[in-house]
Amino acid sequence: MTYANILIEHDDAIAVVILNRPKVLNALNRATMDEVVTALEALDHDDAVRCIVLTGSERAFAAGADINEFAAATPVEMLAGYRFQQWERIRQIAKPVIAAVRGFALGGGCELAMLCDMIVAGEGARFGQPEINLGLMPGAGGTQRLTRAVGKARAMEIILTGRQVTAAEAYAMGLITRVVPDEVVVETAKDIARQIAAKAPVAVRLAKDAVLAAFDTTLEVGLDYERKLFYLLFATEDRQEGVRAFLEKRPAAFRGR
Amino acid sequence: MELPRYETLLVDADAGVLTVTLNRPDVLNAVNEQLSADLLDALRLAEREPAVRCLVLTGAGRGFCSGQDLRDRAGVGEVAYGESLRRRYNPIVLRLRTMEKPVIAAVNGVAAGAGCNLALAADLRVASDRATFIEVFARIGLIPDSGGTYHLPRLVGLAKAFELAYTAEPVDAAEALRIGLVNRVVPHDDLMPATLALARRLAEGPTRGYGLTKRGFNFALGATLEATLAYEADLQTIAGRTADHREGVTAFFEKRPPRFEGR
């Protein structure tokens, strides 16, 4: 599959998906999002890939939706259009997806980063939901995911003022996991990806699933879900290999079974 | 490099050094609305332009900079201060501190208030023997803004910082040198030749490495040792990939002086 708006690089078990429309700060038009979703789903089904990094370019992860595309849209066109349903397919990706953010992650760009499982950012990164400045509001998960990530009060301030949040602030709020110099963002994300790729794939998948369930369920249901997934892992070969390797003081060779 | 013309600044570029001269000598280069806008623009230019590898900031006439122009209503008054700092002064101070090239203040005369604190925001200060530094704010019941509360105690220690801020007395060049407020003091007529000689030397240096050093100091001023060591490892990874690093190592083995290109 060849793509026009994104690039894909492979490095052992890591796949890096690069938004590649730097001239428009990676504005997320329909074609680009189609490719992102298609690529992520393909990588999710590729057994050679164990962890995915999603990144943009130097100046922007993604500076938002492509305003030209919906400037003249009617509500019915928006409803029939690409935005919301398709983005949620990213949520179904079973492998971990790490966002590596340099520059702007605004509006749809911030929402795309928050759809990932974790965010690594450069010091110059800026997060925000500026839709309010255009008489709009976040429409691809911003009000829900930002609120879950940083709490009501901070989400309100960010969404209602439309202001930009620095990487240091985003880190302090718990929106992102790491802040590093801009020049080493992608390799830091790949380094985390490599650590994850060395773990047992089934355990990684179920652990991701359980963490995501924490947002959707009561504690009681979530704990029950967690326990069942935990028991399920006892049926895997990798669990036996992991325990054996630990006792034999050698690194485990996980095979995803 | 095409140099812009400014109403309140003189700018000159030579041998990798951009010299920005505050140019309202009649009022000791007091900062009015125009000057702060011009200065911010010139700093953006210095930051953006790869041919600029060192920035020198100085003043025309008798003074370096007497701080906020109290005749300029835009920056004065109980409501105006916060807004004026956020919009005009803070971006200047931040740009001086984050610009990844050496910044030298050549302090030619009085540096008062925000003018003093602009000098303190430079990486290095060379002072004329006629220079004086005054944290003048307390005389009108204000606090040392434009980075004063940040830089002053870090440069001279908390006790001396309190003394300078509370008394608002002028510090002459010799005392400034003694307490570590400036790097060097030179006879007045030698100020620009001495500053430019230093600036040219730095402009021939490993600009990326200097910039990363500055980034490292900025980080370390607000961080723990552990975080700083991790940060140094990241910065060194970046520095290790520069052409200037390769040139430096090659020159070392070839027993010749390096020719750094700033990248």
Q: Which CATH number fits the domain that encloses residue B169?
A: 3.90.226.10
| Residue A47 is assigned to a structural domain of this protein | yes
Average pLDDT of the residues in A175-197: 97
- Identify from B95, B208, B234 which residue to disrupt to test chain A contact, counting A C-beta atoms within 10 A and taking the largest count: B234
- Identify from B229, B237, B242 which residue to disrupt to test chain A contact, counting A C-beta atoms within 10 A and taking the largest count: B237
**How many CB pairs below 8 Å do chains A and B form together?**
12
> Which chain A residues are Cβ-neighbours of B234 within 8 angstroms?
180-181, 184, 188
Average pLDDT of the residues in A89-95: 94
| Residue B223 is assigned to a structural domain of this protein | yes
Between CA B69 and CA A143 the distance in angstroms is 45
Between CA B198 and CA B133 the distance in angstroms is 22
Calculate how close chain B gets to A9, using CA atoms only, in Å.
Answer: 21
Average pLDDT of the residues in A160-175: 97
pLDDT of A80 over the 80 cut: no
User: CB-based burial of residue A43 (10 Å sphere; 0-12 exposed, 13-18 middle, 19+ buried)?
Assistant: buried
Calculate how close chain B gets to A61, using CA atoms only, in Å.
Answer: 20
Out of A79-83, A202-206, A215-219, least confident range: A79-83
Average pLDDT of the residues in A18-34: 94
The answer to whether residues B88 and B48 belong to one domain is yes
Residue B78 — very low, low, confident or very high, per pLDDT cuts 50/70/90?
low
| Residue A256 is assigned to a structural domain of this protein | no
The residues pairing with B124 across neighbouring beta strands, listed in sequence order, are B104
The answer to whether residues A14 and A67 belong to one domain is yes
- Chain A residue with Cα closest to B238: A183
- Identify from A163, A166, A179, A184 which residue to disrupt to test chain B contact, counting B C-beta atoms within 10 A and taking the largest count: A184
| Residue A72 is assigned to a structural domain of this protein | yes
The answer to whether residues B165 and B60 belong to one domain is yes
**Residue where a domain stops, chosen among A197, A214, A236:** A197
User: CB-based burial of residue B118 (10 Å sphere; 0-12 exposed, 13-18 middle, 19+ buried)?
Assistant: buried
Residue B153 — very low, low, confident or very high, per pLDDT cuts 50/70/90?
very high
Joined together, the tokens standing for residue A66 give: 């492509």
Q: What is the pLDDT of residue B178?
A: 98
Between CA A104 and CA A101 the distance in angstroms is 8
Catalytic residues of A: 65, 108, 111, 131
Residue A2 — very low, low, confident or very high, per pLDDT cuts 50/70/90?
confident
Q: What is the pLDDT of residue A180?
A: 97
Q: What is the pLDDT of residue A216?
A: 86
The answer to whether residues B133 and B159 belong to one domain is yes
> Which chain A residues are Cβ-neighbours of B216 within 8 angstroms?
none
For residue B253, how many other CB atoms are within 10 A of its CB?
7
Could you list the residue range(s) of the whole structural domain that residue A32 is in? 6-197
pLDDT of B226 over the 70 cut: yes
Helices (H) and strands (E) in chain B, counts: 11, 10
The answer to whether residues A89 and A22 belong to one domain is yes
Between CA A54 and CA A73 the distance in angstroms is 29
pLDDT of B142 over the 70 cut: yes
Percentage of chain A exceeding pLDDT 70: 99
Q: What is the pLDDT of residue A81?
A: 66
| Residue A1 is assigned to a structural domain of this protein | no
- Chain B residue with Cα closest to A187: B234
> Which chain B residues are Cβ-neighbours of A180 within 8 angstroms?
234
State the CATH number of the domain containing residue A235: 1.10.12.10
Contact B123, B234 (CB under 8 A): no
The answer to whether residues A172 and A222 belong to one domain is no
The answer to whether residues B107 and B34 belong to one domain is yes
> Which chain B residues are Cβ-neighbours of A181 within 8 angstroms?
215, 231, 234-235, 238
The answer to whether residues A149 and A216 belong to one domain is no
- Partner-chain contact B238 A180, CB within 8 Å: no
Calculate how close chain B gets to A16, using CA atoms only, in Å.
Answer: 21
Q: What is the pLDDT of residue A57?
A: 97
| Residue A257 is assigned to a structural domain of this protein | no
Residue A106 CA, chain-centre distance (Å), reads: 14
The residues pairing with A101 across neighbouring beta strands, listed in sequence order, are A121
The answer to whether residues A177 and A87 belong to one domain is yes
The answer to whether residues B119 and B246 belong to one domain is no
The answer to whether residues A67 and A178 belong to one domain is yes
Calculate how close chain A gets to B259, using CA atoms only, in Å.
Answer: 24
User: CB-based burial of residue B82 (10 Å sphere; 0-12 exposed, 13-18 middle, 19+ buried)?
Assistant: exposed
Distances (CA, A) of B58 to A4, A149, B30, B195: 51, 47, 13, 10
The answer to whether residues A171 and A237 belong to one domain is no
The answer to whether residues B197 and B212 belong to one domain is no
Which residues of chain A are at the B interface, by a Cβ-Cβ cutoff of 8 Å? 180-181, 183-184, 188
Q: What is the pLDDT of residue B80?
A: 83
Give A118's contacts (C-beta < 8 A, 6+ positions apart). A96, A98, A99, A176, A177, A192
Give A130's contacts (C-beta < 8 A, 6+ positions apart). A64, A106, A107, A162, A164
- Partner-chain contact A184 B238, CB within 8 Å: yes
State the CATH number of the domain containing residue B230: 1.10.12.10
For residue A16, which of A58, A52, A62, A57 has the smallest C-alpha distance? A52
> Which chain B residues are Cβ-neighbours of A188 within 8 angstroms?
234
For residue B66, which of B18, B30, B32, B39 has the smallest C-alpha distance? B30
Which residues of chain B are at the A interface, by a Cβ-Cβ cutoff of 8 Å? 215, 231, 234-235, 237-238
Helices (H), chain B: 33-48, 80-84, 90-98, 114-121, 148-156, 158-167, 173-178, 191-203, 207-220, 225-239, 243-253
The answer to whether residues B100 and B217 belong to one domain is no
Out of A36-40, A215-219, B71-75, B237-241, least confident range: B71-75
Residue B2 — very low, low, confident or very high, per pLDDT cuts 50/70/90?
confident
Average pLDDT of the residues in B135-150: 96
Residue A215 — very low, low, confident or very high, per pLDDT cuts 50/70/90?
confident
| Residue B79 is assigned to a structural domain of this protein | yes
The answer to whether residues A12 and A111 belong to one domain is yes
The answer to whether residues B44 and B133 belong to one domain is yes
Calculate how close chain B gets to A149, using CA atoms only, in Å.
Answer: 24
Q: What is the pLDDT of residue B70?
A: 86
Residue A70 — very low, low, confident or very high, per pLDDT cuts 50/70/90?
confident
The answer to whether residues B176 and B82 belong to one domain is yes
> Which chain A residues are Cβ-neighbours of B47 within 8 angstroms?
none
The answer to whether residues A185 and A226 belong to one domain is no
| Residue A70 is assigned to a structural domain of this protein | yes
Between CA B108 and CA B127 the distance in angstroms is 6
Q: What is the pLDDT of residue A88?
A: 87
- Partner-chain contact B238 A183, CB within 8 Å: yes
- Chain B residue with Cα closest to A179: B231
Between CA A115 and CA A6 the distance in angstroms is 18
For residue A127, which of A91, A148, A103 has the smallest C-alpha distance? A103
Q: What is the pLDDT of residue A86?
A: 82
Contact B119, B105 (CB under 8 A): yes
| Residue B155 is assigned to a structural domain of this protein | yes
pLDDT of A68 over the 80 cut: no
Joined together, the tokens standing for residue B187 give: 């006879």
Q: What is the pLDDT of residue B74?
A: 65
pLDDT of B239 over the 90 cut: yes
pLDDT of A32 over the 70 cut: yes
* Domains held by chain A: number: 2
- What does residue A106 show for φ and ψ, rounded to 5 degrees? -120, 145
State the CATH number of the domain containing residue A12: 3.90.226.10
- Chain B residue with Cα closest to A185: B234
The one-character DSSP state at B21 is E
- What does residue B55 show for φ and ψ, rounded to 5 degrees? -115, 135
Residue B75 — very low, low, confident or very high, per pLDDT cuts 50/70/90?
low
A126: helix, strand or coil? strand
Average pLDDT of the residues in B102-131: 98
- Partner-chain contact B231 A183, CB within 8 Å: no
* Domains held by chain B: number: 2
DSSP A167-188: HHHHHHHTS-SEEE-GGGHHHH
The answer to whether residues B160 and B230 belong to one domain is no
Out of A187-196, A212-221, B75-84, B248-257, least confident range: B75-84
> Which chain B residues are Cβ-neighbours of A171 within 8 angstroms?
none
For residue B25, how many other CB atoms are within 10 A of its CB?
14
| Residue A93 is assigned to a structural domain of this protein | yes
AA identity, residue A199? K
The answer to whether residues A90 and A177 belong to one domain is yes
The answer to whether residues B137 and B233 belong to one domain is no
The answer to whether residues B159 and B228 belong to one domain is no
pLDDT of A78 over the 80 cut: no
Calculate how close chain A gets to B83, using CA atoms only, in Å.
Answer: 17
Residue B211 — very low, low, confident or very high, per pLDDT cuts 50/70/90?
very high
Q: What would the pLDDT profile of A102-124 be if each residue is shown by its tens digit?
A: 999 999 999 999 999 999 999 99
Between CA A134 and CA A159 the distance in angstroms is 12
Contact A66, A107 (CB under 8 A): no
AA identity, residue B240? G
- Partner-chain contact A184 B231, CB within 8 Å: no
Q: What is the pLDDT of residue A165?
A: 97
Could you list the residue range(s) of the whole structural domain that residue B87 is in? 9-203
| Residue A122 is assigned to a structural domain of this protein | yes
The answer to whether residues A44 and A166 belong to one domain is yes
**Residue where a domain stops, chosen among A197, A215, A230:** A197
- Partner-chain contact B231 A181, CB within 8 Å: yes
The answer to whether residues A113 and A207 belong to one domain is no
- Partner-chain contact A184 B215, CB within 8 Å: no
Q: What is the pLDDT of residue A121?
A: 98
> Which chain A residues are Cβ-neighbours of B237 within 8 angstroms?
183-184
Mean pLDDT of chain B: 96
